[in-house]
Amino acid sequence: MPKSVLIISTSPRKNSNSDALAEAFAEGARAAGHVVKKVSLRDKTLNFCKGCLSCQKTLRCVQQDDAWTIVQDMCHADVVCFATPVYYYAVCGQLKTLLDRANPLFPADYAFRDVYLLASAAEDDPKAMDGAVSDLEGWIACFPKSRLAGVVRGTGVTAAGDIQKRPDVLQASRSLGERC
């Protein structure tokens, strides 16, 4: 049965390594027959969460920016996949801001069950991704019907396009998309 797959690419850089991982995941998911929507935060306006918690009662954020549409897409997707560059051993600020703004999902009847992380970093050691994985696991812990279903660690990539020299990592992302 086809699933609704939402891929959120969070890098601020055009032609980023993490976005290439997102494209590979999308290819795999489409090949498996799933309906795929990919959103890039690069050109979106996302304000920081104000911490007012109004969304816990209204299931809607009081702020009027691009986050609301993305959060609605997250709520209705069967699968959510985040692609992020790793900065200082954590997810990028754009992803953290979106996760904070996804607070209206906490009391909602969200559809997603499987969550994936595709990460790229200049650091060669795969453990450099542990902080990013932990960041996402903390968010997922607030959604008991969901789980971290897979992670791709694209290490040793710095300049835009470096990931193309890592066909093994691109294939891992594509394969994960096929299995989602």
Question: What is the identity of the amino acid at 6?
Answer: L
Give residue 81's pLDDT. 98
Q: What is the pLDDT of residue 74?
A: 98
112: number of Cβ within 10 Å? 23
pLDDT (0 to 100) of residue 23: 98
Map tokens 């093994």 to a residue. Answer: 168
3-class SS shares of the chain: helix, strand, coil, % to 5: 40, 20, 40
Q: Residue 110 corresponds to which amino acid?
A: Y
Alpha-carbon dihedral of residues 10, 5, 160, 119, nearest 10 degrees?
Answer: 70
Q: Which CATH number fits domain 4-179: 1.20.1630.10, 3.40.50.360, 2.130.10.10, 3.40.190.10?
A: 3.40.50.360
φ/ψ of 43, rounded to 5, equals -110, 20
pLDDT reported for residue 49: 96
22's tokens: 């997102």
Structure tokens at 37: 């929507």
Hey, what amino acid is at 64? Q
Cβ 175 vs Cβ 167: under 8 Å: no
Provide the pLDDT for residue 126.
92
* CA separation for the pair 143, 163 (Å, rounded): 31
Q: What is the pLDDT of residue 162?
A: 94
pLDDT tens by residue, the chain, 180 residues: 899 999 999 999 999 999 999 999 999 999 999 999 999 999 999 999 999 999 999 999 999 999 999 999 999 999 999 999 999 999 999 999 999 999 999 999 999 999 999 999 999 999 999 999 999 999 999 999 999 999 999 999 999 999 999 999 999 999 999 999
DSSP string, 4-21: EEEEEE--SSTT-HHHHH
pTM of the model: 0.97
Q: Do you know the residue count of the chain?
A: 180
For residue 84, the number of C-alpha atoms closer than 13 Å in the C-beta half-sphere is 25
pLDDT for res 38 = 98
| The pair of three-digit structure tokens given for residue 17, joined into one six-digit string | 């390594």
What are the structure tokens assigned to 64, written together? 């009027």
Q: What is the DSSP secondary structure assignment for residue 47, as one 8-state letter?
A: P
pLDDT at position 107: 93
